[in-house]
Amino acid sequence: MSLTGRRIVLGVTGGIAAYKAVEVCRRLVDAGAHVAPVLTEGATRFVGEVTFSALASEPVQTSLWDEASPIPHTRLGQTADVILVAPATARLLSAYASGYSDDLLTATLLATRAPVVVCPAMHTEMWEHPAVQANLDTLRSRGVTVVPPAEGRLAGGDVGTGRLAEPGDIVAAVEAVLAGSAPERDLAGVRVLVTAGGTREAIDPVRVITNRSSGKQGYAIAAEAAARGALVTLVTTVDRPAPAGAAVVEVVSAADMEAAVVPRAADHDVIVMAAAVADFRPVVVADHKLKKHELAAATDGAPSIVLEPTHDFLVDLGRAKRPGQLVVGFAAETDDLIPNARKKLEAKNLDLIVANDVAAPGAGFEHDTNAVVLVRSDGVEQDVPLTDKRSVARAVVDQIVELRSTPIP
């Protein structure tokens, strides 16, 4: 769904997550939308008006009384294609649900017939309070789209549900609303296991062998699958906010990941191995921090660590898959992308492999963007040019849905 030419009123309220609204604003504008930012007085305590005025399509508005238009809320409400509130505080949700208007944003929400998307963000105790949940139920009953918060580290250092949804998920929700529907529920009830992140193989209690994987692509796939109704299990090595509703299993090493994935495999309909699992690990793991002289080889004084291959349990998953089960792999390559990906696809009996040139600018590890080629075992290929990782995830899940509806013989 293109946002080109669509007029979006972006409401920002006074919560610590207001800083993330800057990235939401940038992504909407980059997607072609005309963004009109409206900040509450509380929001200006966390973020600056100048920042939004510079990034958005028109200057920030904050007041019912100080604007050039005598009725700014009516103009904003009547001309909007959608109104997005991110973050939405408990106070905003309460005012909106009860029809109480005391500032420009709440007045605009009451003065529009455009669809509304609210993205709550608050501390866990506030999020779980019956009054907040009752207000959300009221808003949902009136057709408001609620993008639920994620679980993760909160302001103050504790962990729980309440983090503002990721910017990519928020933009995807706006796209879905403007397309005239909620996100597709084409994976409703489907059990999906996703792995994410790079494993860490211990040398000693301090040092590890690892790789550059951030887990962002795996998390994006888990979030997309969950948004489309799947029952998601996410096996991960990284500490990132988990997609709403996903069951998270934390692991460290390749052996840990194997121990977490293999026993669960038979109970899942789709397995997506997005994690960068180490190919090698030290033969011996010291029980103390090794000193330099302990690492030095007797011959020339250079550090010496003897490695052994890790077990490639994706091969086992491919061989053991039951009828109707899909197994998806990733191929992170720096050359001969498609030939290498096809070799892995065939050798591991996969249904789909995501070929990823990690040497390409803006693609692969640690980036927020990616460019891939989706290669199926029936020979079908789909090129996904450089885009954000949630859009890549959407393409991967689209292929999964298609393969489930028309299985490869």
Crossing angle (nearest 10°) for helices 389-405 and 216-227: 50
Judge if 7-178 and 191-405 fold alike in CATH terms.
yes
Read off the pLDDT band of 253 (50, 70, 90): very high
Question: What are the percentages of helix, strand and coil residues in the chain, rounded to 5?
Answer: 35, 25, 40
What digits encode the pLDDT tens for the residues 67-114? 666 678 888 988 899 999 999 999 999 999 999 999 999 999 999 988
Task: Please compute the mean of the pLDDT values over residues 216-227 and round it to a whole number.
Answer: 90
Which own/partner contact pairs does 363-371 have at CB distance under 8 Å and 24+ positions apart?
A: 364/212, 364/332, 365/211, 365/212, 365/213, 365/214, 365/276, 365/332, 366/212, 366/213, 366/214, 366/216, 367/216, 368/216, 370/217
Pairing of strands 191-196, 231-236: parallel
Topology of the domain covering 7-178:
Rossmann fold (3.40.50)
Which residue from 177, 35, 37 is spatially nearest to 117, judged by alpha carbons? 177
The helix or strand, by DSSP H or E, that contains position 165, with its residue range, turns out to be none
- 3.30.413.10, 3.40.50.2000, 3.40.50.10300, 3.30.450.20: which CATH number matches 191-405? 3.40.50.10300
Strand residue runs (E) in 164-315? 191-196, 201-202, 208-209, 231-236, 247-250, 270-273, 280-282, 307-309
Residues near 336 by beta carbon (within 8 Å), at least 6 away in sequence:
none
pLDDT score at 158 = 79
* Dist. CA 310–CA 256, nearest whole Å: 11
Q: Does the global pTM surpass 0.75?
A: no
- What are the boundaries of each domain within the chain? 7-178, 191-405
The tokens describing 237, both together, are: 């090595």
What digits encode the pLDDT tens for the residues 172-181? 889 988 886 4
pLDDT score at 1 = 53
| C-alpha to C-alpha distances, 114 to 30, 31, 142, 254, nearest whole angstrom | 22, 20, 12, 49
Q: Which of 135, 211, 340, 370 is catalytic?
A: 211
The tokens describing 183, both together, are: 């996100």
What digits encode the pLDDT tens for the residues 276-316? 999 999 999 999 998 877 776 544 666 778 999 999 999 99
Task: Please compute the mean of the pLDDT values over residues 107-132 and round it to a whole number.
Answer: 92
370 included as an active-site residue: no
Which residue from 150, 143, 98 is spatially nearest to 119, judged by alpha carbons? 150
Pairing of strands 116-120, 34-39: unpaired
pLDDT score at 297 = 57
Q: Cis omega before residue 87 (within 30°)? A: yes
Most confident of 126-135, 143-152, 176-185, 337-346: 337-346
